Structure 1
């Protein structure tokens, strides 16, 4: 296992400094899902390999992680390991396939609490998900210190919802009905996912991840009451336990990011649960977010990914407005308000990256 001492020295630490709340000379930028479907070079590799085969093959996952770094060079300040949030349900014993045009499909989802018996009682996370660690370590070396590397997981509520719905859903009616019909079993399942998540994140740092992000993609599908009951306690537990375990293991105390998509109502609560960075979707006004969080945390985001279809002028105008809204002295990491969409022209993203870099450097002078 490599240690920080024998990884290549980091040449661009802008993202790490910003994530810690330090003053920076310009706003750092990376993009959720920057390694993936919008890039033609991704599709070249995908022609010969299934999605999860790529995730489980460290050399391929590393290659896809590096593709946007090669393409955009100094326009990107961070990389994120090519993987998927659904590797945790797989480690728990469920089968997941990625079907083109449909997304993830669970062939045998959880229907009633009796199905929980199909999940593994004990999960050897290092054994089940060691391929992600290998990909992270390899990628740290191959990045040659160009930018820091993110590791990540899906939040317990989001993963539970997938495991019950069997894939994507417009209503989450199956998953949400569990909350009211089977509250005890729901909390048991969320705790099981949380325990695996903590082990997995600590393992990712041990393997070389320099930042961690927790994706609660379906947070906004819950009412404030249900979010406070079924999501917030578990994402809080993750940040607390991960930091505790990192300290006990003499591992770096890496910055942690929470992204609870759609949960605008939880913004104040999210500033107080141990994360350094709160990522915003595009429905939250940056000035409002700064006011609510009182600059206690770094904010990340948050342009609507669909603006990338709007042409150069719209991209430049929206990106410029966004940088100004987060403010000259704002603690900000630029990103989109969700993952980049698969049919975006890579050149449109380049315009966005260039605009952020130029405008943020100008206003921070």
Structure 2
């Protein structure tokens, strides 16, 4: 069991009212000690993804119909909402369809997965499913050809043994680079619309062409590019980089050759938005400033991270890799906590975690930096 004296989530439960706990559970991806489980049907994630996306488009349409600061604020909100929706489609719908967990019928999972991949420029579902199932094997994870390694070491061009500062520079340069994002988009289009599956490719290309043509005819071509194309391309790619960089931790060189459950535990940790709340001394000016600063961070940076980057069960990605077939994935926060409290039966060590997206990326880049220059992390 986790130590409540040092666990940020347990301290939130101790220092904040009970009424706030369900919101904090969603925001952090960790439940309060003893909090009741709220059961959720898998298909509701599809409805949630649709709701975020449709709401984003509606807010953006209102934004383009108004003027001034209100217009700018609504368009900015629209971009966040639509990016959140598309991220949910990627993680909670497309990914779960690959595990045949969104619907009871395997064919429904496949059909929805194929449609999502065609419309949202994701890799053809069948190929993604095959590669992702291989990624879940401890013999393949973090080896040459693994989807995580291919993206971080290949696509992002990060190299083992580079100084951490240089790795950070490479990441930030890529995020700001038009060339990187163009290369990323071309790769996505090729994997989605040039898959060799004629029906799949036709559905994707035709849908985008008709959407662009219809908006052009209605005089809404600019809103189409701003409200739809921008979140589906640049913004999704930005959050995808941030999310993939924390999905797995590069192993210590002394353990990188071990392909066992201990290796699996060490290379996948929980990553939770948030931080430890300040102690109860708000009566002093210093205490008040601490609480205002903490809440400002939680309701801006951490909320944005949760909404667009660490969406759905991403904070509990370690639970997903230890229990990939668990039917409790929809209640991921409580399922992971229950497993942690039980000592994670069947595994040699319990769950580990990091609080904060930036800290998690920094720790992973430090781990990559510690590897020998000639190493491929899982070789």
Instruction: Tell me whether the two structures share a fold, i.e. TM-score over 0.5.
Output: no
Between structure 1 and structure 2, the one with the greater Rg is 2
TM-score by length of 2: 0.28
Q: Tell me which protein shows more strand as a share of its residues.
A: 1
